[in-house]
Amino acid sequence: MFNHFPLPCAIVDIETTGGNVTRDRIIEIAIVEVTAEGVSRWSTLINPRTNVPAGIQRLTGITPAMLEDAPYFEQVAKEIVLRLQDKVFVAHNVRFDYGFIRNEFARLAYRFKSKLLCTVKLSRYLYAQHSGHSLEKIIARHNITVNQRHRALDDALATYEFMRIAEREKSPSELADAIAAQQRNTAMPTGVDASLIDELPSSPGIYYFWGEQRELLYIGKSVDIRKRVLSHFTADHKSAKEMTICQQTRSITYEQTAGELSALILESKKVKALQPLYNRKLRRVSQFYTIELVQQNQLLSPRIIPISQQLPAQQKVYGLFPAAAKAKQTLQRLCEQHNLCYQVCAIETGSNRPCTSHQLKKCQGFCVGKESALQHNVKLLHALSQQALKTWPYRGTLALIEKNAGNGMEQHLLINNWCILGIAESPADYGEILANNPKPQIDKDIYRYLVKAIFHPSPQIRLVPVDDKTLRLAV
For the domain made up of 9-184, give the CATH fold: Nucleotidyltransferase; domain 5 (3.30.420)
Does position 160 have pLDDT exceeding 50, yes or no?
yes
Q: What is the largest CA-CA distance in the chain?
A: 95
From the list 345, 328, 335, 332, the residue with the least C-alpha distance to 294 is 345
Question: Burial, 219: exposed, middle or buried (Cβ in 10 Å; 0-12, 13-18, 19+)?
Answer: buried
Question: What's the length of the chain?
Answer: 475
207 vs 254: CA distance, rounded Å? 4
Kindly indicate the confidence band of residue 190, based on its pLDDT and cuts at 50, 70 and 90: low
Average pLDDT over residues 299-308: 91
Averaged confidence pLDDT in the chain? 89
Quickly list DSSP for 29-52: EEEEEEETTEEEEEEEE---SS--
Q: What angle do CA 269, 274, 278 make, to 5 degrees?
A: 100
How is domain 195-274 classified at the architecture level of CATH? 3-Layer(aba) Sandwich (3.40)
Kindly indicate the confidence band of residue 187, based on its pLDDT and cuts at 50, 70 and 90: low
| Phi, psi (deg, nearest 5) at residue 472 | -65, -40
User: Residues 399, 427: contact at Cβ < 8 Å?
Assistant: yes
Quick: pLDDT tens for 1-36.
798 999 999 999 999 998 888 789 999 999 999 999
State residue 473's pLDDT score.
Answer: 54
pTM of the predicted protein model: 0.65
The residues with which 26 forms a beta bridge, in sequence order, are 16
Cα distances from 290 to residues 287, 299, 391, 402, in angstroms, run 10, 19, 14, 30
Quick: pLDDT tens for 209-268.
999 888 999 999 999 998 899 888 876 566 778 888 888 888 899 999 999 999 999 999
Instruction: Between 93 and 198, name the one with better pLDDT.
Output: 93
| Phi, psi (deg, nearest 5) at residue 149 | -65, 155
Judged by DSSP in three states, 120 sits in: helix
Average pLDDT over residues 327-347: 93
Average pLDDT over residues 87-94: 94
Where is mean pLDDT largest: 147-161, 193-207, 298-312, 352-366? 147-161
Cα distances from 428 to residues 80, 92, 398, 433, in angstroms, run 66, 55, 15, 10
Radius of gyration of the chain (CA): 31
The residues with which 400 forms a beta bridge, in sequence order, are 413, 463
Does position 444 have pLDDT exceeding 70, yes or no?
yes
State residue 271's pLDDT score.
Answer: 93
State residue 475's pLDDT score.
Answer: 42
Strands (E), 299-434: 299-307, 317-321, 398-403, 410-416, 419-424
User: Residues 304, 342: contact at Cβ < 8 Å?
Assistant: no
| Phi, psi (deg, nearest 5) at residue 434 | -70, -30
Q: Which of 49-53, 64-68, 371-375, 423-427 has the lowest mean pLDDT?
A: 423-427
State residue 219's pLDDT score.
Answer: 96
Residues 6+ apart with CB under 8 A from 349: 343
437 vs 416: CA distance, rounded Å? 12
339 vs 335: CA distance, rounded Å? 5
